[in-house]
Amino acid sequence: MSDRRREEFQQFRQGGGRDLEHWAAWCALAERHGPDWRSWPDEARNSRYTGKKTAAGRPCAAAGFHAWLQWLADEQLRSAQRAALAAGMAIGVIHDLAVGAHPGGADAWTHQDKIVRAMSVGAPPDGFNQRGQDWGQPPWNPRRLAEAGYRPLADLFGAALRHAGGLRVDHVMGLMRLWWVPEGMTPDRGAYVRYDHRATVGALAGQAAAAGALAIGEDLGTVDPWIREYLAERGVLGTSMLWFAREPDGMPLRPEHWRRHCMATVGTHDLPPVTAFLTGEQVTVRARLGLLKLPEDEERHNAGLMISRWRDALAAEGLIAPGASPGHGEFTVALYAYLARTPAQLISVSLADAVGDRRAQNLPGTSDEYPNWQIPLCDAAGRSVLLETLPGMPLVRAVGGAAAGKPAAVG
């Protein structure tokens, strides 16, 4: 390493402060004791062990190595954002922040006094996840968070916004209240625990403003109306998903009735692609995994009714022919063209939709039962799709054009 690079690395370590120090120490200790700090020797389980035992010798070298890796990753993120802006993107890269962290990971080790053990966060039963969800992540202790002046939360937002044009906060309602599930109980036996939303949302909005970036909240599922209003008043965009966007009578929400302060999307990473809805595979998979409360026949009837209503809505907008049964690609393009007619400030395009994939990348409420985040991207025929082939795929171009308000034939 040259003298200049060595100096830059030292500046990065100094700027990273205790957060970087704890992360690097956890990595060094994990190499010796395993990836879950809860099974470490008593002395190592205490995060104060950091300064005492990683200050010299082999642990120090290992911690320095992991700090160096973080420095390289930070430089790559900065380069990606600069390249995005140089290419003409107004926002650039939008980072994503999960609702929580693994109970045996570095975050939980560092903030042992600010999390609640024997509890995990999740969501109550809803229309798609009828048995509720348990995400296996410990919640922040609201009292301890307040005693710390919400600095751990603000630092987390600030780090996520580093080298970003925006930040999408998963399950943003968790800044107001979280569904706590006691250890050993099913998700439907949980309860909401509230946080000081003025402080938590203020931390998010303040860090986004300081970074000159967008804040986007994933406010889907069971949401009190005031939450969306409060977020919008503080400049935090919401998320509106087409499949669940309905008029009071249950019909698809007309384009002019969508909110402006949101990111509009057909689905999310937690839902199957459009093709799975059209083929009924989204019901088949959930039935096989025991995730349905309604009888399978009733669930299929409801799913078919939803698709029929969306066909009618697309026809009413002139996006498909009345009475037609468009192919998967044509139907997908029409849905994104529908989003382009809403006043939403942002439109999110699913890569799985854009290539015609049939399989969900993630099914909330499952762990070992489904290969979450392990499914290679494929087209409608099940053929693997490589990064290099994306620009030449007609469906990718058609979906992208439709979302930009320039619909074209699938090809």
282 in the same domain as 159: yes
**Do residues 299 and 152 both lie within one domain?**
yes
CA distance 385 to 400: 17
123, 62: one domain: no
State pLDDT tens for residues 188-207: 999 999 999 999 999 999 99
On whether the CB atoms of residues 137 and 101 are closer than 8 A, the answer is yes
Q: How many CB atoms lie within 10 A of CB 52?
A: 9
d(CA 12, CA 8): 6
**pLDDT of 49:** 62
Tokens of 16: 């990273």
**CA separation for the pair 338, 347 (Å, rounded):** 11
Q: What order do you get walking across the sheet with 191-194 strand by strand?
A: 133-137, 119-123, 177-182, 191-194
Considering the domain architecture, whether residues 189 and 57 belong to the same structural domain is answered as no
> Is a pLDDT exceeding 80 seen at residue 365?
no
Using an 8 Å Cβ cutoff, are 404 and 388 in contact? no
Q: Is 144 within the bounds of a domain?
A: yes
Number of domains in the chain: 2
CA 254/CA 247 separation, integer angstroms:
8
Residues 81 and 216 in one domain: no
- Residue at a domain's end among 60, 89, 118: 89
Residues 144 and 196 in one domain: yes
65 and 102 in a common domain: no
What is the pLDDT at residue 54? 55
- Residue 231 sits at the vertex; the CA angle it makes with 263 and 77, to the nearest 5 degrees, is 55
* 310 and 251, same domain (yes or no): yes
Q: How far apart are CA 172 and CA 218, in angstroms?
A: 5
Q: Tell me which of 89, 120, 147 is where a domain ends.
A: 89
Q: Are residues 195 and 299 in the same domain?
A: yes
**81: DSSP letter:** H
Query: How many degrees, rounded to 5, is the angle at CA 123 between CA 247 and CA 310?
Result: 25
Question: Which residue is it, tokens 């509720």?
Answer: 132
Give the model's pLDDT for residue 325: 83
* pLDDT of 53 higher than 80: no
Closest Cα partner for 208 from 235, 181, 240, 188? 235
Examine the domain organization and report whether 304 and 159 are in the same domain.
yes
Tokens of 316: 């009413």
pLDDT given at position 241: 96
Name, in order, each residue with C-beta under 8 angstroms of 259's C-beta and a sequence gap of 6 or more: 228, 232, 238, 240, 343, 344
The residue segments making up the domain with residue 318 are: 93-403
Structural domain includes residue 410: no
Look-up: residue for tokens 């039963």?
A: 125
Q: Which two tokens stand for residue 329?
A: 């690609």
Residue 206, pLDDT score? 97
Q: Is residue 409 part of a domain?
A: no
Does residue 173 fall inside a structural domain? Answer: yes
Write out pLDDT tens, residues 140-188. 999 999 999 999 999 999 999 999 999 999 999 999 999 999 999 999 9
Are 127 and 224 within one domain?
A: yes
* pLDDT tens readout for residues 304-328: 999 999 999 999 999 999 987 889 9
CB 131 within 8 A of CB 181: no
Residue 383: exposure state from Cβ atoms within 10 A (0-12, 13-18, ≥19): exposed
% helix, strand, coil for the chain, step of 5: 50, 10, 40
Do the domain assignments include residue 278? yes
Query: The whole model's pTM is what?
Result: 0.89
Predicted confidence at residue 52, as pLDDT, reads: 54
Amino acid at 89: M
DSSP symbol at 191: E
**DSSP-H helix ranges across 166-273:** 197-211, 225-233
Q: How many percent of the chain have pLDDT more than 70?
A: 96
Judge contact between 250 and 336, C-beta under 8 A.
no
What pairs with residue 194 in β-bridges? 177
133 three-state secondary structure: strand
Give, for 143, the enclosing helix (H) or strand (E).
Answer: helix 142-147
Q: 89, 105, 137: which is the final residue of a domain?
A: 89
pLDDT at 186: 94
**Which tens digits make up the pLDDT trace of 211-263?**
999 999 999 887 888 999 999 999 999 999 999 999 999 999 999 999 999 99
Domain shared by 5 and 123, yes or no: no
* Residue 216, pLDDT score: 98
Residue 253 in any domain: the answer is yes
Please indicate, yes or no, if residue 255 is contained in any of the structural domains.
yes
Average pLDDT of the chain to the nearest whole number = 92
Q: List pLDDT tens digits, range 279-307.
A: 999 999 999 998 888 899 999 999 999 99
Q: Say which DSSP state 125 is in.
A: -
Residue 238 lies in a domain: yes
DSSP state, 387? G
d(CA 333, CA 325): 14
Q: What is the model's pLDDT at position 348?
A: 95
Tell me, what CATH number does 347's domain have? 3.20.20.80
